[in-house]
Structure 1
């Protein structure tokens, strides 16, 4: 029998170094891709990507998790901006309220000085409240009994009031007429509704003779006997109830519960008055 020869085995070289080498090449390729991408995108996107990598490496979050984090940051920034705008709006409104209060106080002071100087304290009075500067004029200072025609000497009073109001032409003016509960039934005035409305309109017309006023800011309403200030059981009470009121309406009011709007409009009051003026 012949003996078989055993060829010596070829020794294979150690190839374990290929693993770290392939990892290194992969990282280099990723680096070159990032550098290339950074050279072709705008700065803001690059900075956003840089923050994403920084956040991922520092907090242990994956790069894919960064989307939610970025959205949270954007939402927080929008919330902060909204709060800042609200604060600015609140400060601006407070400044406007203070200026309006000052304007109405000055106007009331001027009206009171005119009333005192003219000896009209028993016929005119003013009141400044949270919604308006109210000028109340007794009917005997303006109209003959049962009439809506303003007395010739009383037209000067309406003109003087209009002259003082013209300093603040941007305010809305509401003129309202009121009577006592004594019935009236003439060809011109079938009821107190017509009498009070006509008196308010006639007084408003004299105010609008002043060219400084915009008629769009004026409205006249008749309430008849249905908004008395005093009892109609006495002559003095009925005399108090017969009046014309001129309201200079505030533009900026304090917020009320359940109402986010601070502004009051003439149209809302006018609608209320029209509803009240419908006979029942």
Structure 2
């Protein structure tokens, strides 16, 4: 009896390897299904597969248990309107801020011009030059008007020797830091002029402006690149050329100190 039993045991094949082999095939099948599901854009099916395999392998929890990728949420009309309104508000705030900064810069520049005007007016008052010198703050800048008989003889563009000191002292009043652009212009009345030196009032006005500017620029503290000269002849009168008094006002040299900031 013992021999028969032993023979029966020897004839029986060992099939224990089938169990891990079947598990391996199952895992491979699961892997291919997961790979296929991952390549699909159907998020709902992927989520369902994930739940099934989680239940099979881990009882409903494990590494495959994660939320499906959510589709991007489209903004509603109300959200779009709110975003557009917010952008508009930001743009308006930037514009207001820039306008306010520009306004403050303009007001500060005007205050500086007023200080220069007060300094020049103090010089005029000290030297009793109220009739010959006039200052005015205009939209174009600070304007200093000098009657021509203060600086020049009739029909001449040469600054009188007695007035050289006045021109040099004025140059000191034009020292500014930082410097400003300054335009010196000459003007005449409408009485025709023709002499050996000038053929017209236009030429006379130009040379008066240039010669006065040269004296101003004797001051080494002034940089010539900030200065320019113009001649207008009789074409920009400020009074009636029909009277002697009006013609006297029209014969003038003007020094225009320009603002750094304009509106």
Does residue 25 in structure 1 map to residue 48 in structure 2? yes
Of residues 83, 96, 121 in structure 2, which corresponds to 1:87? Answer: 96
Of residues 212, 233, 237 in structure 2, which corresponds to 1:228? Answer: 237
Deviation at 1:76, TM superposition (A): 4.5
**1:236 partner SS:** helix
2:69 matched residue in structure 1: 34
Does the CA contact (< 8 Å) of 2:201 and 2:234 recur in 1?
A: yes
Alignment of 1:185-264 (within 5 A): 185-253=194-262, 262=263
Q: Give the distance between the partners of 1:78 and 1:177, measured in 2 at CA.
A: 53
Q: 1:30 to 1:190 in 2, by over 3 A?
A: farther
Q: Give the distance between the partners of 1:79 and 1:148, measured in 2 at CA.
A: 60
Q: 1:78 to 1:215 in 2, by over 3 A?
A: farther
1:4 matched residue in structure 2: none
Does the CA contact (< 8 Å) of 2:46 and 2:68 recur in 1?
A: no
Does residue 108 in structure 1 map to residue 117 in structure 2? yes
Normalising by the residue count of structure 1, what TM-score does the alignment of the two structures yield?
Answer: 0.65
Does the CA contact (< 8 Å) of 1:169 and 1:214 recur in 2?
A: no
2:142 matched residue in structure 1: 133
Structure 2 gap ranges (5+) = 1-43, 52-63
Does residue 148 in structure 1 map to residue 177 in structure 2? no
**2:256 partner SS:** strand
Deviation at 1:182, TM superposition (A): 1.1
**2:143 partner SS:** strand
Give the length in aligned residue pairs.
Answer: 208
Q: Which has the larger radius of gyration?
A: 2
Q: Give the distance between the partners of 2:50 and 2:156, measured in 1 at CA.
A: 100
C-alpha deviations, 1:86-125, integer Å up to 9, x for none? 2221221122122112111111111111111101111101
Q: Give the distance between the partners of 1:204 and 1:74, measured in 2 at CA.
A: 59
2:35 matched residue in structure 1: none
**1:134 partner SS:** strand
Q: Give the distance between the partners of 1:196 and 1:30, measured in 2 at CA.
A: 95
Structure 1 gap ranges (5+) = 1-20, 36-48, 53-62, 254-261, 263-280
1:121 matched residue in structure 2: 130
Normalising by the residue count of structure 2, what TM-score does the alignment of the two structures yield?
Answer: 0.69
**1:99 partner SS:** helix
Deviation at 1:240, TM superposition (A): 1.0
Deviation at 1:214, TM superposition (A): 3.1
Q: Give the distance between the partners of 2:226 and 2:83, measured in 1 at CA.
A: 45
